[in-house]
């Protein structure tokens, strides 16, 4: 693993976990096998984030568009989410991970919705890493929901600015991502954190998500350290 001790580390990393299906197809196994291996990659990535001192990690676990997939695959994904939550929660809590969920969690039904809320409550006091799971999440829907909250709050149009609007997003209290990672060779953001990724650096890798681990995580950090972040200003 590369020595990154003297290099800047992103405060917040967001990841689009892509390639489970292609990983399974390449091995001639059912797609659910790719999703299971993807869950193992989640654990490796959380461990790597903790090891490098990353404070926020947001994972695009289930998009609002994923509901269009065959019912059987959606059921498999939902089952795996329940299994992961039940099997990993104690370890996450022990590692000091605070779990937060964004997205339309209620679409997964009352049982999983309640389990997610209980997991958030159990880990709420942890401060080592905030793990944000985006479930049934869409960036456009997030912005529309924020606009509705602004209207519902009766905020005067002239009082609204970017900082105030951001408080009405599902990520209120969470800093914007510094780095976006997407696996599997695709190079788009797919309706993920559209507002929040405005100035994020982007790292695209051909590695399929089930094969993602500490080495590729470190490679993304090393690439990030070479970027000059100007936020629209001229170079110094």
Q: For 153-204, what is each residue's pLDDT tens digit?
A: 999 999 999 999 999 999 999 999 999 999 999 999 999 999 999 999 999 9
Q: From the candidates 3, 18, 178, 191, give the one annotated as an active-site residue.
A: 18
**Residue 4: predicted pLDDT:** 63
Q: Is the pLDDT of residue 64 over 60?
A: yes
> Is 66 part of the annotated catalytic residue set?
yes
pLDDT band at 83 (very low <50, low <70, confident <90, very high): confident
**Residue 79: predicted pLDDT:** 87
Q: What is the DSSP letter of 227?
A: -
CB 150 within 8 A of CB 168: yes
Sign of CA dihedral 118, 124, 129, 134: positive
**Residue 6: predicted pLDDT:** 64
Q: For 133-150, what is each residue's pLDDT tens digit?
A: 999 999 999 999 999 999
pLDDT band at 209 (very low <50, low <70, confident <90, very high): very high
* Bigger pLDDT: 2 vs 92: 92
CA proximity to 170, closest of 101, 107, 86, 97: 101
**Residue 77: predicted pLDDT:** 87
3-state class of 141 per DSSP?
A: helix
> Is 206 part of the annotated catalytic residue set?
no
Q: For 28-39, what is each residue's pLDDT tens digit?
A: 999 999 999 999
Q: Is the pLDDT of residue 119 over 80?
A: yes
Q: Is the pLDDT of residue 234 over 70?
A: no
- pLDDT above 90: percentage of residues in the chain: 86
3-state class of 180 per DSSP?
A: strand
How far is the C-alpha of 15 from the C-alpha of 60, rounded, in Å?
Answer: 6
Q: What is the DSSP letter of 206?
A: S
| Range scoring the smallest mean pLDDT among 11-25, 69-83, 119-133, 213-227 | 69-83
Q: What is the mean pLDDT of the segment spanning 75-98? A: 92
- pLDDT above 70: percentage of residues in the chain: 95
Q: From the candidates 3, 20, 66, 142, give the one annotated as an active-site residue.
A: 66
Query: Which backbone phi and psi does 71 adopt, to 5 degrees?
Result: -55, -35
- Chain-wide mean pLDDT for the chain? 93
In which order are the strands placed within the sheet that holds 97-102?
97-102, 129-137, 56-63, 12-16, 179-182, 201-204
Q: What is the mean pLDDT of the segment spanning 69-75? A: 89
End-to-end Cα, the chain, rounded Å = 31
Q: What is the mean pLDDT of the segment spanning 6-16? A: 92
């Amino acid at each position: 693993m590369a020595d990154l001790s003297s290099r800047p580390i992103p405060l917040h990393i967001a990841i689009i976990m892509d390639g489970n299906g292609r990983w399974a197809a390449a091995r001639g196994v059912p797609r659910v096998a790719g999703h299971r291996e993807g869950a193992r990659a989640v654990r490796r990535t959380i461990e790597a984030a903790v090891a490098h001192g990353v404070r926020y990690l947001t994972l695009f676990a289930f998009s609002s568009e994923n509901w269009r997939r065959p019912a059987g695959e959606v059921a498999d994904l939902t089952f795996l989410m329940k299994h992961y939550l039940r099997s990993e929660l104690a370890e996450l809590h022990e590692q000091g991970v605070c779990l937060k969920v964004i997205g339309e969690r209620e679409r997964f039904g009352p049982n999983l919705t309640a389990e997610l809320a209980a997991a958030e409550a159990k880990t709420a006091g942890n401060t080592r890493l905030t793990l944000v799971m985006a479930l049934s999440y869409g960036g456009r829907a997030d912005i529309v929901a924020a606009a509705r909250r602004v209207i519902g709050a009766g905020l005067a149009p002239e009082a609204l600015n970017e900082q105030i609007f951001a408080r009405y997003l599902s990520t209120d209290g969470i800093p914007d991502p510094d780095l976006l990672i997407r696996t599997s060779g695709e190079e788009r953001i797919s309706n993920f954190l559209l507002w929040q990724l405005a100035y994020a650096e982007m790292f695209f890798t051909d590695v399929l998500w089930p094969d993602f681990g500490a080495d590729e995580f470190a490679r993304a950090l090393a690439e990030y350290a070479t970027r000059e972040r100007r936020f629209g200003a001229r170079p110094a």
